[in-house]
Amino acid sequence: MSSEANVRVRPKETEHEINEQGYFVRQKNHFTTPFGEGEGKLPVEAGRYRLIWAKGCHWSNRASIVRELLGLEDVISINLAGHGKHEQNLGWEFVFNENQSDPVLGVQFLSELYANADPEYKGRPTVPAVIDVQTGKVVNNDYVWLTNYLEKEFAPFHKAGAPDLYPAELRADIDKYNDFLFDNVNNGVYKAMFAQSIEAYNDAYEHLYTALDSIEERLAHRRFLFGDYVTDSDVRLFVTLARFDTYYFKNLGPLRNRIVDFRNIWGYARDLYAIPAFKNNTYLRDLARGNGDKSTIFIDYNTRFWDQIDYEGLWSQPHDRGAKSSNPEQKFKTRS
């Protein structure tokens, strides 16, 4: 049963995360205690945590993909949140469960779990959110490092032959490239979509496409971002690519290119989509679902066509990415 005192109206990004120049400045993550051994860290235990994510949120989508890639399904439980219909926006809700209530945590809204952890929290309750099932509290919502915790700290629980997505010899380079992806691509699309001045919009748009051009060139010479094998960086880029032509385009303004117009990026995205953990956690049709009014004369593209497009067929078209690898039959490096 939900506690009305802990159900919060979701703050709007365009009211609370815009600076004086009209730039979108994303709120900082609130629960950032790392996982690991030692004082001041979250204990790494099987069965203790529950990951809450949402189909439309790429920040959380990457955690759900990595969880499956590493075989952590029986170690960290999972649930999907969505949006229900209310007079006010009450944020993420467990709309896919009976009585709109998480069967393990017994709450209706994610904001309740945030309030359990910090009654004074005023920001947006975001996903991914890792919940301690023993206390019903959010213990980590730090999407910046969450996949890395799954890759490093949860290694004792990885399945046999799990991919090494964060190789020790590449970690510094992966971290640097992840910063680049965050600034220009992952958060770059939101900088453009939430910009409240034309200067902020143009700046974000230019950085986004400059970054995509550099990625297109990078992928001309290698199968994945760091060579022959998938790494954490590929997961982070993929989740944005999956949403670009299906959803983001509506709010990005005049597009210079779609993802399908980048030969290397588009082949790369399909190469990743063919991996079951990527496909299983990517709901293309749900992302593209139209919410417009069909009674008007001008109806947006998604409302007209989202249920007529064969997204699975489109994303499953053949590609030649394997030719760029010295090990074309193997997409992952495993731990030695």
pLDDT digits (tens, 9 = 90+) for 141-174: 999 999 999 999 999 999 999 999 999 999 999 9
CATH number of the domain bearing residue 43 = 3.40.30.10
172 shares a domain with 152: no
Of 77, 81, 79, the closest CA to residue 45 belongs to 77
293 shares a domain with 187: yes
Q: How many domains is the chain built from?
A: 2
- Predicted pLDDT at 296: 80
303 shares a domain with 257: yes
Find out whether 100 and 84 touch, Cβ atoms under 8 Å.
Answer: yes
Other C-beta atoms closer than 10 Å to the C-beta of 87 total 6
Within-domain flag for 332: no
Average pLDDT, rounded, for the chain = 94
Within-domain flag for 51: yes
CB contact set of 160 (below 8 Å; sequence gap of 6+):
71
Q: Please identify, among 157, 179, 201, the residue that sits at the C-terminal boundary of a domain.
A: 157
pLDDT tens column, 35-92: 999 999 999 999 999 999 999 999 999 999 999 999 999 999 999 999 988 888 789 9
Measured distance CA(145)–CA(147) in Å, rounded: 6
CB contact set of 159 (below 8 Å; sequence gap of 6+):
70, 71, 72
* Residue ranges for the chain with pLDDT beneath 70: 1-5, 336
Measured distance CA(256)–CA(254) in Å, rounded: 7
Helix (H, G, I), strand (E, B) or coil at 114: helix
In 29-152, alpha helices (H): 58-69, 110-117, 143-151
125 shares a domain with 40: yes
| Residues belonging to the active site | 57, 190
- Predicted pLDDT at 1: 46
Within-domain flag for 283: yes
- Give, in degrees to the nearest 5, the angle at Cα 225 between 147 and 334: 60
126 shares a domain with 92: yes
Other C-beta atoms closer than 10 Å to the C-beta of 57 total 19
Report DSSP letters for 63-85, one per residue: HHHHHHHTT-TTTSEEEE-B---
The parent domain of residue 306 ranges over 168-324
